[in-house]
Structure 1
């Protein structure tokens, strides 16, 4: 029985109490919480699971919490699969499951496979998840690394919880930075230093070589005529390199949305018309303004300057409205630590467009990361490239490390730790647990242990009860991590699961013993049932690592 199933059992008992008149609530059954929370008690002596629902409902019901708990406990004791129910303190309800019911979870996990842990907590939600969105004027660097890992993991968690998610990359391919970029590449084509304020990295020489390989005649063309061609070719080449780096990092985007299209396809004009209809546009001083102060911004924002040129803010507003037009109920932005100023203005755009700024838009701000001993890129000059970090530390180590800390906490990555094959290295510890489980299954198979029998009542060792309890927490961990946008909850869960597995592995034999005379004891149903538990653990470790974009090696 999973915690979710037990939650439904407790709610059913409450409904029965309401119907029988044992529990009177102001709005009847409608007063009951949608989900009844069940948690592991601090001491296993108190049972397998505990709930505080009696404390939560006592005031509404006009009852003493312990009295309510006793009434509920009486009904729970009648439920098949529950072996004991106790009341502690002012009204805590402690529940002990029958060993066979608890152990059945191992079979459920194996049979569910990669779907175990998936849930419907966010079913019906349509989400646009925008992250990274680096300017296509240079390679991805350390500043983009954290959001690449976290954004992709959040998207995986949202999908696992039933949401329909589109990962989107906003390409800032309009504006003066693209002209500076093109001028930098043009200078390299002619063997010159980049102009002041340009992009000095060696990568602009590489781009110049690629442009010349595609269009050799560019070197002899008038620069004014050649510049748009150089800009487009260099941009496409740099964007391709960004996409390759992201792919190497295991990050997938469903949509790459070009800022330029907002200008060329009339999206900005359309957005202004929509915002004007909403009543938040103001014409003054020859310019077009959006009254974002109506919704908490520190000042109103110019959309169209007096000279008729749209501002960056106009593009931001138009881009938000395109997401709305494309049917995304929820728009999530993942922004870097230097983008705090964007929060109020983006929320104001949502409100001006007629959306609920507390419901339809969500902005996550991440803190910086650093890597001790990382060297500036020889190719890019003054930055540490993501491609170099991948080559140095590996995708798995980077992604896991970035996922195991809350986004709002700074990270200083220790490369020596990440490259070590010790239990002090969290990613190694979790991956090793999976590899160990796979190796144990191979060894068991060599001794003819298979999953031809399953008797959950045999899983009675304390380490088995502990391991099963950890396995049962996985679906709720995934759901809460998705709802809170906190992948670190999954990483920390995996570490506790790995610890429980290593403890079980040390105490419980899954393979038959070999006697001193070389003979092997007979295979029993206990061996076979423990193989189910072993394989269930491997499956959950694999599923959890997949949600973080980290591999689960079968050998290490």
Structure 2
């Protein structure tokens, strides 16, 4: 069960409670489901009871208890626990993670991308400043992943090396959707909405007494490290250049993401040498990783909608950190024979690596199979 399907299931439970007369509320259009926070448990959590409590004129925990019974009627949900002020924490059957892994393996790096054109047309404008140009390039990639057609226009003349070194597409005003030039394609009847967006990351001002480092040229970092250095900080934060973006150690978030991906690819090679393939199935104690992989489509949509590639970058770091504990248990040890559990762990590791590679590609960063 994906987060989108789970959101629909929660709304269905609300609708049933309304139909049975236990709740007198307007059924919302959307129920937010996220990985559990501190004090939570299970695979996902939702605050729908807190959202409805005032309109229902009942305490949030009472609303949560009403919904709990209806959610347990769904065979795909194995447990529902009410915590805190009224959060619903949901545990899914193990087959749900297998279905998610199977979906990721089937869709590959396009997992989380829109299945069809959205009909939206977006024009991004940005000044000819290196951080703004790289950010606009990443935002354009994200928007295209969600089916939008995108034009990027520059106020000024970008430096040619921003294309040759940083991989930015400097074709001013070319209409693209997911990398396809639409300027000569008959798109009559496809674009139903249009928007103009200005991309210009501006760090918040610092107090006058605090020394501000002079801007540093990111080009010596090379394409991948430079793009990460410019995209990982939020728009209101100041990039750290040169920083530690080229250092291969755990203090470097980019290294953690690429290393986690490279390890998943190494495990696939090693498993092939041992004569077994990945096969989706239940994997114990991986709830956090499964929840993060399931949340990937929502992250892509949010990053595209709010023009925040940093949101995707941070998500990739979290996925990488949640993947690392799984990897040592993927291959059999010593004389141990490959089992269904090993195949399921390998499939989950492969799915995590696919999400990491797909996310990096949307940031314009390479995901090498070897580090």
Whole-angstrom CA distance in 1 between matches of 2:63 and 2:116: 28
Q: Which residue of 2 aligns with 1:503?
A: 325
The aligned runs of 1:302-341 (5 Å cut-off) are 329-335=194-200, 337=202
**1:14 aligned residue:** 14
Q: Between Structure 1 and Structure 2, how many residues are aligned?
A: 348
How much has 1:491 moved relative to structure 2?
1.0
| Deviation (angstroms), 1:369 | 8.2
Q: Does 1:544 align with 2:366?
A: no
Structure 2 match to 1:440 = 267
Q: How does 1:89-488 map to 2 (within 5 A)?
A: 89-119=84-114, 123-132=118-127, 134=128, 144-171=129-156, 242-243=159-160, 245-256=162-173, 329-335=194-200, 337=202, 370=214, 389-390=218-219, 392-415=220-243, 417-451=244-278, 453-454=279-280, 456-457=281-282, 459-460=283-284, 462=285, 464-488=286-310
Equivalent residue, structure 1, for 2:343? 528
Against the structure 1 CA distance between its residues 256 and 99, is the aligned structure 2 distance closer, same or farther, given a 3 Å change threshold?
Answer: closer
Task: Report if aligned partners of 2:104, 2:351 keep a CA contact under 8 Å in 1.
Answer: yes
CA distance in 1, matches of 2:67, 2:369: 46
Query: CA separation in 1, counterparts of 2:38 and 2:196?
Result: 42
| Cα distance in 2, alignment partners of residues 432 and 337 from structure 1 | 31
Q: How far 1:443 sits from its partner (Å)?
A: 0.7
Q: Which has the larger radius of gyration?
A: 1
Contact kept? 1:117, 1:543, Cα under 8 Å: no
Structure 1 counterpart SS, 2:82:
strand
Question: Which of 333, 346, 366 is the matching residue for 1:513?
Answer: 333
1:494 deviates by 0.9
Partners of 1:471 and 1:247 lie apart in 2 by 33
The offset of 1:98, in angstroms, is 1.4
Q: 1:445 to 1:336 in 2, by over 3 A?
A: closer
Write the distance in 1 (CA, Å) between the matches of 2:58 and 2:247: 57
Out of 64, 67, 84, the residue aligned to residue 72 of structure 1 is 67
State the Cα distance separating 1:79 from its structure 2 match: 0.4
Q: In structure 2, how many angstroms separate the alpha carbons of the residues matched to 1:497 and 1:530?
A: 15
1:526 is displaced (CA, Å) by 1.7
Please give the alpha-carbon distance, in whole angstroms, between the structure 1 residues aligned to 2:332 and 2:22. 53
User: Contact between 1:85 and 1:95, CA under 8 Å: does it hold in 2?
Assistant: yes
Structure 2 spans left out of the alignment, 5+ residues: 175-190, 206-211
CA distance change for structure 1 residues 253 and 16 in 2, over 3 Å: closer, same or farther?
farther
Per the alignment, in what secondary structure is the counterpart of residue 350 of structure 2? helix
Q: Contact (CA 8 Å) 1:103, 1:468: kept in 2 or not?
A: no
Counterparts of 1:335 and 1:123 in 2: how far apart (Å)? 25
Query: Hey, what's the Cα distance between the residues in 1 that align with 2:340 and 2:202?
Result: 56
Question: Retained in 2: the 8 A contact 1:370–1:411?
Answer: no
Measure the CA separation in 2 of the matches of 1:111 and 1:254: 33
Aligned residue for 1:502, secondary structure, equals helix
d(CA) in 2 for partners of 1:550, 1:99: 33
Q: Distance in 2 between the 1:45 and 1:410 partners? A: 33
Structure 1 residue ranges, 4+ long, deviating more than 6 angstroms after superposition: none
SS at 1:105 equivalent: helix
Contact 1:131 1:147 in 2 (8 A): yes
Structure with the bigger percentage of helix: 1
Question: Contact 1:156/1:548 (CA < 8 Å) preserved in 2?
Answer: yes
- C-alpha separation in 1, matches of 2:86 and 2:115: 30
Structure-1 residue corresponding to 2:368:
553
Q: Could you tell me how far apart the structure 2 residues matched to 1:411 and 1:369 are?
A: 10
Return the alpha-carbon distance in structure 2 between the equivalents of residues 404 and 336 of structure 1.
12
Give the alignment's Cα RMSD to 1 decimal. 2.7
Other structure's SS at 2:33 match:
coil
Q: Secondary structure at the match of 1:332?
A: strand
In the superposition, relative to structure 1, how do residues 337 and 67 fare at CA in structure 2: closer, same or farther (>3 Å)? closer
Give the TM-score, by structure 2 length.
0.85
**Displacement, 1:437?**
0.9
- Distance apart, 1:420 and its partner CA: 1.4
